[in-house]
Amino acid sequence: MSTVVAAPAAGADRSGAGRSRRRGEQEQSGKLFNRLAATCVTLFALIWLVPFLWALITSLRPNDEIAANPTTPWSNNWNLDAYSYAWNSSPLGWWYVNSFVISTLTVVFTVVVSSMAAFALVNLDFRGKYIVFGLILAGLMVPVEALVLPQFLEFRALGLLGTYWAVVLPSVALPVALFVFHSFMKAIPVALIEAARLDGASWWRIYSGIAMPLSRPAISAVAILTFITSWNAFLWPLLVLTQTKSQTIPVGLSSLVGGSAIQYAETMASAVLGILPLLAVFLVLQRQIAQGVANTGIK
């Protein structure tokens, strides 16, 4: 790839023999460069789509055909049998429901709880505010994923294993979400808040009537990214949701990896079904999601 980029590095001579001619050359080489870049990038983008297409194509072909011609992207007998089989052979419906409920609860709690705390840190002078701020700032460096074992013991002691709460609660109070709201609410003019105070509005009223409506972009960024992260979480739900019917999509699907080697179509159908909900969300909200990632760096 470096050769493609390095190729049009012409124009090293600084003889100054006519700027216009040089500019013409530059434009020429610029065009050539862009064309090369476009070809290279498009090729890569197409390769990137292959796994999606391959899963989709395979899921629509009959198994005996796949076994006979594994790498042909064509079928004489397209059908949806694998989907009904996949749907009936595993509790996919339950997994959808669980994933949806858990992700939604996580989003609602995260948005409410972290926006309220951010509001307090921005607008309210309370004792110990700076200590609280520092404590949460330090939390940015705490790698939650590494702490599953003590977390597990804690939830067992609380008797919450196997419940939705076990999955929701640890992912609600994340410092990243708070700081997204914090940086957003800091931009709200103080005069606005003070005017409302003089009018006798309560702090709750200012939060819900002024700060939150003005933070809509922050709400959508936090909500979308929390939903994706929560929907795709694997290790923690794997540990705490042990009943097949109470599992989430990623945990349930993982049990199909390395399963029967003959049922290619069914396996790929399950994968496609596992991808669909979030991919649909992604296609609708592509711009917002990209924006959210760019602004927050939540991974």
Partner 1 sequence: MTATALPAPTTGIEATTRHASAGRAPRSENRAGWLFATPFLALYLAFLIGPVVIGLVISLFNTTTVRSGIGSWVGFSNYADVLTNADFWASMWHSALFTLLTTPILVLLPLLFAVLVSRLGRGQWFYRLAFFAPYVVPSAAVCLIFAFMYTPETGLITNAFGWFGLTAPDFFGSTSGAWFAVVLLTVWWTFGFNFILYTAALQEISEEVYEAATLDGAGPWQQIRMITIPLLRPTIGLVLILQVLSSLKVFDQIYILLTGGPNYTTRPVIQYIFDTGFSAYRGGYAAAATMVYFVVLVLVSVAWFLVRRRSNSADA
- The answer to whether residue 29 forms part of the interface with partner 1 (CB under 8 A) is yes
The answer to the question of residue 284 lying near partner 1 (CB under 8 A) is: no
Minimum CB separation of residue 228 from partner 1 in Å reads: 6
Residue 146 binds to partner 1 (criterion: CB under 8 A): yes
Six token digits for residue 196 = 């409302």
Q: Which of residues 246-275 bind partner 1 (CB under 8 A)?
A: 249-254, 256-258, 261, 264, 267-268, 270-271, 274-275
State yes or no: residue 195 binds partner 1 (CB under 8 A).
no
Mask of contacts with partner 1, 158-177, x by CB under 8 A? -----------xx-xxxx--
For the CB of residue 63, give the shortest distance to partner 1 in the complex, in Å.
12
Q: What length is written for the chain?
A: 299
Distance CA 113, CA 164 (A): 18
Which residue in the set 82, 92, 111, 136 belongs to the binding site for partner 1 (CB under 8 A)? 136
Q: Which parts of 42-71 interact with partner 1 (CB under 8 A)?
A: 42, 44-46, 48-52, 54-55, 58, 67, 70-71
In the complex, minimum distance from the CB of residue 11 to partner 1, in angstroms, rounded to a whole number:
5
**Options 100-108, 137-145, 182-190, 212-220: segment touching partner 1 (CB under 8 A):** 137-145
Distance CA 173, CA 102 (A): 15
Q: How far is the CB of 91 from partner 1 (least distance, A)?
A: 15
Angle at 193 between CA 190 and CA 196, to 5 degrees: 145
CA-CA distance, 148 to 235, in Å (whole number)? 8
Q: Which stretch binds partner 1 (CB under 8 A): 75-83, 185-193, 214-222, 281-289?
A: 281-289
CA–CA distance, 55 with 269 (Å, rounded to integer): 7
Handedness of CA 219, 220, 225, 226 (dihedral sign): positive
Taking contact as CB under 8 A, which single stretch among the options 76-84, 121-129, 184-192, 213-221 is the one that binds partner 1? 121-129
Question: Between residues 130 and 191, which has the closer beta carbon with respect to partner 1?
Answer: 130
Of 128 and 189, the one with the shorter C-beta distance to partner 1 is 128
Rounded Cα–Cα distance for residues 80 and 66 (Å):
14
Integer Cα distance of 225 and 236 in angstroms:
18
Part in contact with partner 1 (CB under 8 A); list of ranges 19-27, 77-85, 188-196, 214-222: 19-27
Site for partner 1 in 200-219 (CB under 8 A): 203, 207
